[in-house]
Amino acid sequence: MKPEVSFAHLHRLSDDTGLFEHARGAVPRREHGYCLDDVARGLLVICREPEPDAGLTALAETYLAFIAHAQDPDGAFHNRLGLDRLWHDEPGVGDWWGRALWGLGTAAVRGPAPWIQSAALALFDSSATLRSPWSRSNTFAALGAAEILAADPGHDAARDLLADAAKLIGAPRADAAWPWPEPWLSYANAAPAEVLIAAGHLLDDERLLADGLLLLGWLLDEQTRDGHLSLTPAGGHGRGWTGPGFDQQPIEAAALADACARALAVTGADRWEAGLACAMAWFLGMNDSGVPLADQRTGGCCDGLERDGRNENQGAESTLALISALQHGRT
């Protein structure tokens, strides 16, 4: 029996401004303030809910307002807001820009109220013509573009963003032992494969689709040990590495869950259903340490898997990763 998706800890980490980034155990660490990265992911998971209640809808409104406040007139975004309600950085197009567009693209299509959808689309359009020099940033943004393009095939900015991101990711290498287009596995590694799958499907490009499925299959094999996921650790790894490695991060399992869910929706193949099940099971203790990361008492998720246990802190990124992965288990 799959555990139910809980938003209890997300509510605990949130206030009327946004979503606190860090926690000590399950207690929010307010002194560290907020980051757009997490707020955007919070908006995304709420908009994935088929019937969000009034409390979640209110959170979505708060998160959307935070994103709007973070956006500068040129379409770049601030990331870090202090408890003093002042921005502690300059606007940019790093990962937070990409995740903002991912959240906005999802809200534009699946937001819990019509006004949220229209406001999110306007914010997305204001930033969608920008490009980041970092591949992962464009990758995250492209996942938001895919949401919009699936609902509106005539949205040119979303189409261009998705196509450009797929081009930047590149094709698999002609090396069966290491087909990954980068020399190093770093973080959210399944996201580039998901973008290629989405681009192949939505842009009617069979080569891109095949490339994405090949990379996702290889990544699953690379990160599976003794029948369970053995994820790339926080420090990453290159060719020839042998694991397991720690500190394993929930974002890795969540990215695999997202990519396998998309591959399953596009192809219907059993392999991706099995991959999705392994990604969810990683949170519940089917991992290298045999320790659950999900805390069913709090609704939160521990911040990392260690060789002899887990990081007991339950920050926003980890909790959002758990929610995102378990949401796929209902479909």
Closest Cα partner for 66 from 14, 129, 140, 111?
A: 14
Structure tokens at 75: 């379409």
With 90 as the cut, is the pLDDT of residue 324 above it?
Answer: yes
Which whole number is the average pLDDT over 123-132? 98
Structure tokens at 102: 């991912």
Phi-psi region of 226 (alpha: psi -120 to 50; beta: other; left: phi over 0): left
Output the pLDDT for position 241.
Answer: 87
Contact 130, 75 (CB under 8 A): yes
- CA–centroid distance for 13 within its chain: 18
Q: What are phi and psi of 83, to 5 degrees?
A: -65, -20
Contact 295, 302 (CB under 8 A): yes
Per-residue model confidence as pLDDT tens digits over 253-265: 999 999 999 999 9
With 50 as the cut, is the pLDDT of residue 1 above it?
Answer: no
Output the pLDDT for position 330.
Answer: 80
Phi-psi region of 188 (alpha: psi -120 to 50; beta: other; left: phi over 0): left
What mean pLDDT, rounded, does the chain reach?
A: 97
**What CA–CA distances, in Å, run from 40 to 153, 167, 268, 320?**
24, 25, 29, 10
Which whole number is the average pLDDT over 128-154? 98
Which run of H or E residues covers position 23?
strand 23-24
Which whole number is the average pLDDT over 159-170? 98
Which run of H or E residues covers position 225?
strand 224-225
Output the pLDDT for position 2.
Answer: 61
Per-residue model confidence as pLDDT tens digits over 192-221: 999 999 999 999 999 999 999 999 999 999
Which whole number is the average pLDDT over 46-72? 98
Percent of the chain exceeding pLDDT 90 equals 97
